[in-house]
């Protein structure tokens, strides 16, 4: 029996099909992640799995209980930490957890010891009696996660657990997630649009885009399936992309080509031989290459290869684009 299982899950909001025929299963004890950009359908799927939304069609089960037929049983088995933090700013950390414990019907005699345990786990014991309004974003998120653990769920759902946090804080949260997983032997289902997060945390990843799952596999297998090398080429915006693409398609050792606006990604088995040929093409077509790089495949490349585009709102992409714009300005 799987901890999480969906079969042909669909959720429509009027004309928008947010979740489009999604089927996957998560083994007990796994950390499984949905990786996808804004609007991919990650939160909608998670809200169906946590019984907060009803599917339009298809089936979803948690620990063998159907979300539609047995929502109460499902809720007993899960913890859910929403995308937006839900803690009350004017209560202390501990008061927030007491509230959460009562909402989850934890026996009164056990509330104190359970709260002590989770505070210890996420290292908030020292700050527990201070109002949450004094907490940093990372501390609020940790408190949210603590709240989701109080009733010791079998399956923990984390919707974008580190979105908007700086990289150091994100890394710290990853450590807590790993600790929770190891100490409680919990199945964890998380969503993210950070490649590195998916890579670091997940045993398996489902890449989701436009409501559809594009591929499900371990990060390692995904990267290995890409071939040995990735050549990224950025060219001037005013070039004839079609003729460039058709020249690239004739290249030997190139197994797959993606174009996202003025950026081409070539998946190659022998990149060092391909690069000189790219410069030949560039000469022949008198096109201007603004940058070219040869790298080992990353999850970014996997994402591009399955969806045809980058995850645009990723902070690092944003920063890279800003850096690139700055460099261009400096060059003028
Ligand atoms: N209640 C709703 N009514 C109408 N459309 C909705 C509703 N909820 C979600 N959608 C639409 O469904 C699609 C999927 O949204 P969802 O929130 O699941 O994406 P997501 O992957 O969680 O994105 P993000 O990374 O921004 O959190 C989007 O196009 C969104 O606008
Ligand atoms: Mg979301």
Sort strands 263-268 and 229-235 into parallel, antiparallel or unpaired: antiparallel
Which of 11, 43, 53 maximizes ligand 1 atoms within 8 Å of its Cβ, making it the mutation to test the pocket? 43
159 Cα–ligand 2 center, Å: 7
52 Cα–ligand 1 center, Å: 14
295 Cα–ligand 1 center, Å: 34
39 Cα–ligand 1 center, Å: 5
pLDDT of 172: 93
Specify the 3-state DSSP secondary structure of 248: helix
DSSP output for 278-311: HHHHHHHTT--EEEEEEE---HHHHHHHHHSS--
Output the 3-class SS for 7-42: EEEEEEECCEEEEEEEEEEECCCCEEEEECCCCCCH
pLDDT at 115 over 70: yes
Lowest mean pLDDT among 19-28, 165-174, 233-242: 233-242
- From the list 24, 19, 18, the residue with the least C-alpha distance to 4 is 24
Half-sphere exposure of 212 (CA within 13 A, CB side): 4
- From the list 212, 164, 301, the residue with the least C-alpha distance to 34 is 212
pLDDT of 213: 98
Sort strands 57-62 and 65-66 into parallel, antiparallel or unpaired: antiparallel
Instruction: Set out the domains of the chain in order of their start, with CATH numbers.
Output: 4-217 (3.40.50.300), 226-331 (3.30.70.100)
245 Cα–ligand 1 center, Å: 34
Atom of ligand 1 at shortest range from CA of 208:
21
Ligand 1: which residues within 6 Å by Cβ?
13, 16, 18, 36, 38-44, 83, 193
Is pLDDT larger for residue 258 or for residue 3?
A: 3
Compute the distance between CA of residue 310 and CA of residue 295 in angstroms, rounded to an integer.
16
Lateral strand order in the sheet of 4-13: 16-26, 4-13, 57-62, 65-66
Whose Cα sits closest to atom 30 in ligand 1?
39
44 Cα–ligand 2 center, Å: 7
Distances, alpha carbon 8 to alpha carbons 25, 49, 73, 146, 161, in Å: 11, 13, 22, 32, 26
Atom of ligand 1 at shortest range from CA of 19:
14
Instruction: Give the mean pLDDT of 112-125.
Output: 96
Whose Cα sits closest to atom 2 in ligand 1?
13
Average pLDDT, the chain: 92
Atom of ligand 1 at shortest range from CA of 43:
22
Ligand nearest to the CA of 19: 1
> At CA 19, angle to CA 18 and CA 21, rounded to 5?
145
Q: Mind listing the pLDDT tens digit for each residue in 41-97?
A: 999 999 999 999 999 999 999 999 999 999 999 999 999 999 998 899 999 999 999
Atom of ligand 1 at shortest range from CA of 45:
18
- The percent of residues above 70 in pLDDT, for the chain, comes to 94
What are residue 111's phi and psi, to 5 degrees?
A: -55, -50
* DSSP 8-class letter at 126: G
Q: Which two tokens stand for residue 71?
A: 């929502």
Q: Mind listing the pLDDT tens digit for each residue in 152-164?
A: 999 999 999 999 8
Is pLDDT larger for residue 16 or for residue 228?
A: 16
CA 5 to chain centre: 18
pLDDT of 313: 56
* DSSP 8-class letter at 134: G
324 Cα–ligand 2 center, Å: 28
Lowest mean pLDDT among 6-20, 78-92, 224-238: 224-238
pLDDT of 224: 85
Q: Mind listing the pLDDT tens digit for each residue in 193-221?
A: 999 999 999 999 999 999 999 999 999 99
pLDDT of 271: 87
Q: Mind listing the pLDDT tens digit for each residue in 240-277?
A: 889 999 999 999 999 889 998 899 999 998 888 999 99
Which of 20, 36, 41, 214 maximizes ligand 1 atoms within 8 Å of its Cβ, making it the mutation to test the pocket? 41
Specify the 3-state DSSP secondary structure of 157: strand
Instruction: Give the mean pLDDT of 288-315.
Output: 86
pLDDT of 320: 44
């Amino acid at each position: 029996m799987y901890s999480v299982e969906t079969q042909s899950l669909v959720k429509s909001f009027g004309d928008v099909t947010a979740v489009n025929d999604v089927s996957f299963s998560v083994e007990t004890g796994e950390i499984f992640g949905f990786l996808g950009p804004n609007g991919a359908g990650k939160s909608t799927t998670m809200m169906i799995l946590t019984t907060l939304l009803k599917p339009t069609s298809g089936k979803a089960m948690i620990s063998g209980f159907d979300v539609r037929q047995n929502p109460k049983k499902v809720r007993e088995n899960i913890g859910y930490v929403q995308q937006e933090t839900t803690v009350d700013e004017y209560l202390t950390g501990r008061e927030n957890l007491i509230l959460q414990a009562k909402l989850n019907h934890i026996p009164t005699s056990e509330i104190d010891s359970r709260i002590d345990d989770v505070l210890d786990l996420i290292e908030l014991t020292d700050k527990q009696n201070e109002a949450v309004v004094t907490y940093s974003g990372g501390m609020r998120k940790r408190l949210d996660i603590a709240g989701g653990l109080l009733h010791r769920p079998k399956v923990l759902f984390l919707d974008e657990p580190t979105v908007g946090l700086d990289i150091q804080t994100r890394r710290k949260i990853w450590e807590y997630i790993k600790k929770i997983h190891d100490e409680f032997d919990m199945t964890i289902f998380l969503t993210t649009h950070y490649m590195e997060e998916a890579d670091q945390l997940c045993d398996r990843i489902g890449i989701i885009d436009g409501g559809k799952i594009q591929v499900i596999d371990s990060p390692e297998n995904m990267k290995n399936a890409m071939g040995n090398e990735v050549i990224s080429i950025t060219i001037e915006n005013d070039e004839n992309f079609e003729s460039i693409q058709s020249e690239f398609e004739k290249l030997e050792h190139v197994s797959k080509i993606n174009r996202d606006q003025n950026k081409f990604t070539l998946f190659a088995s022998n990149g060092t031989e391909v690069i000189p040929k790219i410069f030949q093409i560039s000469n022949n077509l008198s096109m201007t290459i603004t940058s070219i790089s040869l790298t080992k495949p990353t999850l970014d490349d996997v994402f591009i290869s399955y969806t045809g585009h980058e995850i645009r709102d990723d902070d690092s992409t944003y920063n890279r684009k800003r850096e690139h714009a700055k460099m261009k300005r400096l060059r003028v």
